[in-house]
Amino acid sequence: MDEGKATRPKWWSRPRRASVDEPYGGVSGDGGMPPPEAATPPPGPSAAAGAPGGPGGTAPRPLHAEDPYHTPPYGGPGPWAPAPPVQRPGPPPGGGTTPAQGTAAAGPHPPAQAATPGRTGQLPGAAPAQAAAPPEAQGFPQSPWLGYDPWAAPHAAPEEPRRSGRRRAVTGAVLLALLAGGLGGAAGAYVERQGGFGDVELAQAPAEKTGRAPGSVPGIAEAVLPGVVTINVRGGGSEGTGTGFVLDDKGHILTNNHVVEPAGNGGEVQVTFNGGETAEAEVVGRDGGYDLAVVRVEGVSGLDPLPLGNSESVRVGDPVIAIGAPFGLDGTVTTGIISAKERPITAGGEDGASDMSYVDALQTDASINPGNSGGPLVDHKGRVIGINSAIKAAAEGQQAPGDTQGGSIGLGFAIPVNQAKRVAEELINTGKAIHPVIGVTLDMAYAGNGARVVDKGSGSEPVTPDGPGDKAGIRAGDLITEVDGQRVNSGEELIVKIRSHRPGDVLGLRLERDGKEKSVRLKLGTASGR
């Protein structure tokens, strides 16, 4: 079918094996390709028809010269497997250079191996070719491609040794981060506490008007304080401090008897006013039974007398203000209420019964302490309704503030102003106070309820002859249980009830005699106090 037609050689046609006289790779020294020798073609149609490369024909030249380094896909003509990506070789050993692919290396070349189809490496009918010696055995430099395996896994690049400079850089970065963190934390804490890096300025409300309503505590204190004084007393080897308040513009000042008592008849009394001015004072009169005294300063102008209220108008729960110099702290203001009325208290008595004070007092929870004695207890209008005189100390009896260092427990007592006014007038006018009496002697040791008149033969006169009690029909051994309808529980309470009245007042008494009750009317008599 193909007879008589010229057959074009295929591109994979292999050239004849070069003779040993030709340069390695079939390339002449001048770069030309020597004519290949005729090779005995394998049996087939092409050989029978005188195809190129058969008998009488000329074998075609390969498309490229054989690569002396056998670099795929240029190791030799023939069919090849798909080539992997070409990798550039490194410099050959010994510092030589690798010739470009497809070109012959300078110098002698080893003879090329005969290319044969199939696995035998020989063409059918061809004479066995001698195996070519490797290039390095012939003096050629070893090619880096000889040990190249394109299908092997790539080798990992050797790890470069760590450098000490990198380690130092990392260490420095860590230290810098720690330092920055510490500085940042300190700055944050400062900002949180100080609110910033500038000067601290606190918010403050603007100044308000200093005036207060007249009926408010500040308004009342502002009006009353100019009339309150602090009294310092020395004499008889002792000294004390108390409070007083101005009664009139003549310089009369009312206080407690136990405040000025250390001065006696020749001691010193100094008065300090609210504005800081001081003046010497003299005792006008004093009475231990009522625990009241009046002193006077001379040559002082601009006095501020305090208005007097009415203790009969006071009700339990009314707000009150106590002003004084507790523990020497002059001008101290405390507030409270009236806790009770007509609370019978007694104080003093160190020098005998005549020095015992019997007071039908106002009770308040306004703080009263030692040094408050003699100070005013004022109502919501700034009027004096009582004179602070005693406190109830813990685990103690009633104590005059000047006689104990105990503090307030919310139980303070004040002499009602109605009683204080009468006594103060008597002291100013006569130097003495008069006491209302009933003309009987009481058994103060009696433990039962009521006030019992002593029996005959007790060493004291049970009933003063022709006195108020004798005229009312009271007898020795009688038990007085009520005064004007109010229950009497002891002799002290009876005295307190009587001294809360003026001489000449008429009282209704209820008696028990021999198991029978009896009511009598009694007009109070008069007795001079000390």
304 in catalytic set: no
460 in catalytic set: no
Residue 175, SS3 per DSSP: helix
Q: For residues 9 and 61, is the Cβ–Cβ distance under 8 A?
A: no
Cα(355)–Cα(120) distance, integer angstroms: 153
373 in catalytic set: yes
Which among 13, 311, 339, 373 is annotated as catalytic?
A: 373
Residue 334, SS3 per DSSP: strand
Residues 6 or more apart in contact with residue 21 via CB below 8 angstroms:
none
Measured at the CA of 401, the angle between CA 279 and CA 408, to 5 degrees, comes to 125
Cα(280)–Cα(343) distance, integer angstroms: 35
Which among 291, 330, 360, 379 is annotated as catalytic?
A: 291
DSSP-derived letter for residue 477 is T
E strand or H helix at 272: strand 268-272
434 — alpha (psi -120 to 50), left (phi > 0) or beta?
beta
Q: How many CA atoms lie within 13 A of 154 on its CB side?
A: 6
DSSP-derived letter for residue 530 is -
Which among 13, 46, 143, 258 is annotated as catalytic?
A: 258
Q: How far is CA 178 from CA 181, 184, 186, 187, 188, in A?
A: 5, 10, 12, 14, 15
Residue 307, SS3 per DSSP: coil
Structure tokens that stand for 119 in this block? 């696995």
DSSP-derived letter for residue 36 is P
Residues 6 or more apart in contact with residue 173 via CB below 8 angstroms:
none
Q: For residues 13 and 117, is the Cβ–Cβ distance under 8 A?
A: no
DSSP assignment of 372-397: -TT-EEE-TTS-EEEEEEEEE-TTS-
Q: How far is CA 514 from CA 203, 454, 517, in A?
A: 80, 14, 8
DSSP assignment of 38-65: P--PPSSHHHHTT-TTSTTS-PPPPSSP
Q: For residues 474 and 440, is the Cβ–Cβ distance under 8 A?
A: yes
Measure the N-to-C terminal CA separation of the chain; round to a whole number of Å: 175
Structure tokens that stand for 225 in this block? 């304080």
Token match 């009633």: residue? 398
Token match 């000294």: residue? 239
Q: For residues 472 and 461, is the Cβ–Cβ distance under 8 A?
A: no
Q: Annotated catalytic sites, by residue?
A: 258, 291, 373
